[in-house]
């Protein structure tokens, strides 16, 4: 079937006319469906990356329904402030056809998504969006969600995988990586902190997005203010610190991910402040004191984790992350470790910023 014919399997009140490739996502295949005067997003789900499609779509369906209820209760616009799944004609959240899986959303009109922070206010607005996401789902039973990618931010497991890669030394690279290996080993206890606090109940289990990039927030195309959080494939149980920390990791560093001039790699404190301000304003009272206390640490931890993953992949022969030249994963590792160290050095300053906006 063509994409238009696939679209016709969903419960639309208009006849689909065209389906054209849309966006720049790397995981799923995305199409914009035109049906008379209305548009929809049709996606072929990458079931190699997300093999549990049923669990994935159950997560998305339950989370979007909860957000929609909260938006309506607050007098907001549910057509623009949350994703809306279009069911199949058989009433399912997704369509299975010839070994492929498809889903459809209502197109959120009059919005844009940005690939990079063109203005600090955009980073602030993305923080507001993900802070609202946390607040709206604060009472959601996170433990009932499926793990779309098991152990995704389990830093203890990431450290274990790293040590296994060092021991196996599949590519014979470990001897030339003693400085990088020592950097990770010196921080082993840091990888245990959040996982341990979640296990003990000192940190609450939350619904986490786990891909808090700027381009996963739809901004109003006139005011620039945040409308909806999108790309919910990686929604699963975790810590709010994972989402905050990953935003700090990719959003406060002005350098490229594989920058070789490490003098260009640092945590821009002014951008950390913009994000912290927006996140705490939007979260309101939904975060615990312990979560707020560990916000700066989370930026360091998520950066360290990412560096460990790049280093592990380099040790194993570059089998997970796509590379464009042989040393790219090593260069990526270096930028993350430089950024992690810079965040550590600025920890007192970052903690003071959190206290400033903790009202």
Taking the C-alpha atoms of residue 302 and residue 237, their distance in angstroms, rounded to an integer, is 16
CATH 3.90.1200.10 range(s) for the chain read 120-357
Q: Domain 3-109 has what CATH class?
A: alpha beta
Would you say domain 120-357 falls under CATH 3.90.1200.10? yes
C-alpha 314, offset from chain centre: 23
Q: Which of 290, 329, 302, 291 is nearest to 313 (CA)?
A: 329
C-alpha 267, offset from chain centre: 19
Strands (E) located in the chain: 18-21, 29-35, 38-45, 85-86, 95-97, 100-106, 111-112, 206-208, 217-220, 226-229, 236-238
Sheet-wide strand order for 217-220: 111-112, 217-220, 226-229
Taking the C-alpha atoms of residue 305 and residue 165, their distance in angstroms, rounded to an integer, is 15
* Residues in a beta bridge with 20: 32
| This model's pTM is above 0.85 | yes
Q: What is the pLDDT along the chain (359 residues), one digit of tens a residue?
A: 899 999 999 999 999 999 999 987 778 999 999 998 999 999 999 998 899 999 999 999 999 999 999 999 999 999 999 999 999 999 999 999 999 999 999 999 999 988 877 789 999 999 999 999 999 999 999 999 999 999 999 999 999 999 999 999 999 999 999 999 999 999 999 999 999 999 999 999 999 999 998 899 999 999 989 999 999 999 999 999 999 999 999 999 999 999 999 999 999 999 999 999 999 999 989 999 999 999 999 999 999 999 999 999 999 999 999 899 999 999 999 999 999 999 999 999 999 999 999 97
């Amino acid at each position: 079937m063509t994409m238009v014919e696939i679209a016709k399997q969903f419960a639309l009140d208009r006849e689909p006319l065209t389906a054209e490739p849309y966006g720049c996502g790397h995981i799923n295949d995305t199409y914009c469906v035109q049906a008379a005067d209305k548009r929809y997003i049709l996606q072929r789900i990458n079931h190699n990356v997300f093999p549990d499609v049923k669990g994935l779509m159950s997560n998305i369906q339950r989370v979007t329904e909860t957000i929609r209820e909260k938006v309506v209760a607050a007098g907001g616009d549910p057509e623009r402030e949350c994703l809306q799944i279009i069911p199949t004609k058989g009433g399912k959240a997704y369509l299975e056809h010839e070994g492929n899986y498809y889903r459809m959303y209502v197109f959120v009109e009059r919005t844009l998504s940005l690939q990079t922070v063109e203005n600090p206010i955009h980073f602030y607005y993305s923080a507001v969006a993900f802070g609202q996401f946390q607040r709206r789902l604060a009472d959601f039973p996170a433990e009932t969600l499926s793990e779309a990618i098991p152990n995704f931010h389990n830093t203890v497991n990431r450290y274990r995988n790293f040590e296994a890669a060092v021991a196996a030394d599949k590519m014979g690279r470990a001897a030339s990586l003693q400085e990088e290996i020592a950097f990770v080993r010196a921080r082993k206890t840091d990888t245990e902190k959040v996982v341990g606090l979640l296990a003990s109940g000192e940190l609450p289990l939350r619904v986490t997005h786990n891909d808090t990039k700027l381009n996963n927030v739809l901004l109003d195309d006139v005011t620039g203010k945040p409308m909806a959080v999108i790309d919910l494939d990686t929604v699963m149980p975790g810590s709010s610190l994972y989402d905050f920390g990953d935003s700090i990791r990719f959003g406060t560093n002005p350098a490229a991910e594989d920058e070789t001039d490490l003098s260009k790699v640092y945590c821009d404190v002014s951008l950390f402040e913009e994000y912290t301000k927006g996140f705490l304003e939007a979260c309101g009272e939904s975060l615990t004191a312990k979560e707020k206390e560990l916000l700066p640490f989370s930026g360091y931890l998520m950066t360290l984790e990412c560096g460990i993953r790049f280093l592990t992949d380099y040790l194993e022969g570059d089998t997970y992350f796509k590379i464009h030249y042989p040393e790219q994963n090593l260069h990526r590792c270096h930028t993350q470790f430089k950024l992690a160290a810079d965040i550590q050095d600025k920890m007192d300053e970052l903690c003071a910023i959190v206290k400033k906006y903790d009202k």
